[in-house]
Every structure is written in structure tokens, then in C-alpha cells.
Amino acid sequence: MIFERPDYYNQFSCIAGDCPMTCCAGWEVDVDAASRDFFLELKGPIGDEVRSVMVDSEDGGDYAVFPLTDEGNCPFLASNKLCRLYSALGEEGFCETCSEYPRYFGVTGSHQQIDLTLSCPEVVRIFFATTSPVTFVTTEDIMDGEELSADETLRLSEVYRFRDAVMEDLTNAFSGSEFFPEILLSHSKDLSTFDTATLPDLLASTEVLDERWQEVLDAIQTTGSHQKAFPVNDTDIAPFFLRLAQYFLFRYSIDIFYGSSRDDILLLILRSLTTILWIYESGWCALPSQSCRLTLDEKELSAPLSSKEEKVIRLMDATLIFSRQIEHSLENVEILKKARS
């Protein structure tokens, strides 16, 4: 198997009770088949409680679901933001979704893509701790993955060729002070320009996963920040747009193998970067109790915050809410990918 991961991957460790958000709210937890079977046999009051909330998946799949409470939380989220299943059962209490988050592992043939999602505030902290372009680490072991047909092997190598060419161009074109999304368009078959006219409607049509989303959309409209276009030429934040472009490119290029077009992926990246820029420009700030600022070491921050620190924290919050709202719904990702402007 060949494994690929970004250079920041190994720095992650969950900050649990110190986290300004939680990963146990906003989205239902899918309970994989092995965990479902474990919970079905589990003795004692905690077993009874799990069985009283767990339901079969609606699509008839081989898994179950923990539906959210009326407050939009996982039913096992305790008031101290810790997991009651973990507290009662340790690692065994975690189903696959909970033990993996915010990591994800995508396997195609003998190739595994390993990454962290920016919907976790601690991942956002790590991601925004440096302005250098992301580098990707490749390792290999002797195990074989699922065998692909000759046609699939060819298609997969074309996907990686495309991804690596765009990645290289992005990093070469970045001036250090400006990020130019045109470099993405230069890899498109049919897109000669990037039109943002329909983007506000697309964003408004997404399934709401984060309760703050309407507030964010209102801020964009009220401040007119959706008039803002690239390039970003503020040296305090421009390098992060390159890193974000690399993140989206690495994460979603593999979708081409599963049916998306190259232009779908380029559009998704352009729309994601633009939305994050709009949220940032709108001045929207997460509540102090939910801000990524809480993940930063107070001792390393100026008091009061410098203008650069304020900008970076605002961009971190914009990125976090974008990822929480869009990236945990296949439907929302498809909305940003598919509809042509």
C-alpha cells in the first residue's frame, strides 16, 4: 500500500474538554456494523440506554445511527463535553466514526489517502500555525490493496497526475504575498472564468449542519462581502489561501475517480476558497466561547491582539464554520461542485 498524508497529520491530538466546539453535535453519528453488534449485546444500564436511542440506518445499510437530541447533540454528549460512552466503556465505547474523527482514510486500490478535517478546532490551530505551503508525505508497505482493473489503474494514475500538476503549479505560482486562483482555471477544460454570481444562492441552499450558518450568510449579505474577489494580497493571510487550496485539492481530487469531473473539483476549490474569503471579509466572528482563539496559547499572543493575530483568528473561525457546514454533508459538497455558474 502507498500512504499519503499532509505534513501536519501527526501533530494532531484531541483536546477534548478544552475544545471550544465539540464533534458530538450537528451531525448524526453513524454506528458501524461491528459497533452496532457490540451495543446490541452490551449488558447493564449503559447498554439499555444505547439500545433505547440507536436506530437502523434509513438507507437499509449495514449500520445504525444515533439520532441527535432536540438540542442537536449526540445523545451521549455529557455537559462537560466528554463522551458518556467513552467514560463508561473506554476505547470500546467508540464506534469507528468517533475513534477516527477528525482523521479520515480514503482507500482506492493500493493507495490510501490520510488526512484531517478542518471542522475540528484543534486541526484548524495546527493548520494555521505555519504559513509554509503544505508538503505531503508518502510511505509504503508490502501489503496489497484491492486489485483494480487495467482501466481503473489508468484512471487512478490520471487523477494523481492531474492533482500533482495542479499542486505544483499552485505552489510555484504563489508569490508569497498573493494567491491567484486563476492557476486553477488554467487546468480546466471548459471554465475560462470563475463567476461567483450564483454562489450566494448555492450557499443558502445547503442543508444546515451548523446552527450559525444563517448568521454567517446574513453577515455576508449585510456587509456586501460577496463583492470581494481574489486575489488576496494581504501578506498576513494570503499564504493560508494557498494552504487551503492544497487541502481541498488533496482531499477531493480522488472524487474524479468516482465520477466527478476535473472541473467539478476545480469549481469546488474555487467556491470553497471564495466562501471562506467572504466570511472572513464580512467580519463574522465566532462567539468568544466557540472561537478557535481558545485553542491558541495565550502566552504566545499579544495583549491586546495584534492586527495580524486578529486577522488570522478570524480566518481560522471562517474556515472552521465553512468546513462544519459543508464538508460533513456529501449533498452540500455536491452543491458546491456540480452546479455551473
Q: Taking the CB of residue 168, how many other CB atoms lie within 10 A of it?
A: 10
Walk across the sheet containing 2-6 and list its strands.
103-108, 111-116, 2-6, 136-140
- From the CB of 101, what's the least distance to ligand SF4, in Å? 6
Is the CB of residue 187 less than 8 Å from the CB of residue 169? Answer: yes
Q: How far apart are CA 40 and CA 51, in angstroms?
A: 7
Among 7, 14, 100, 105, interactor with ligand SF4 by CB under 6 A: 14
What is the DSSP pairing of strand 2-6 with strand 136-140?
antiparallel
Restricting to residues 92-121, which ones interact with ligand SF4 according to CB under 6 A? 101-102, 120-121
Q: Residue 179: count other Cβ atoms within 10 Å of its Cβ.
A: 26
Q: Which stretch binds ligand SF4 (CB under 6 A): 18-26, 201-209, 286-294, 297-305?
A: 18-26
Contact 129, 301 (CB under 8 A): no
15 counts as binding ligand SF4 under rule CB under 6 A: yes
How many helical (H) and strand (E) elements, i.e. helices and strands, does the chain have? Answer: 13, 7
The 8-class DSSP code of residue 300 comes to G
Residue closer to ligand SF4 (CB basis): 101 or 179: 101
Least separation in angstroms between residue 204's CB and ligand SF4 is: 26
Task: Report how many residues bind ligand SF4 under the rule CB under 6 A.
Answer: 12
Cα distances (Å, whole numbers) of residue 176 to 63, 180, 235, 306: 47, 11, 7, 21
Pick 85 or 166: Cβ nearer ligand SF4: 85
CB of 119 to ligand SF4, least distance (A): 7
Site string for ligand SF4, 20-39 (x = CB under 6 A): -xxx----------------
Nearer to ligand SF4, 268 or 318 (CB): 318
Binding region for ligand SF4 (CB under 6 A): 14-16, 19, 21-23, 101-102, 120-122
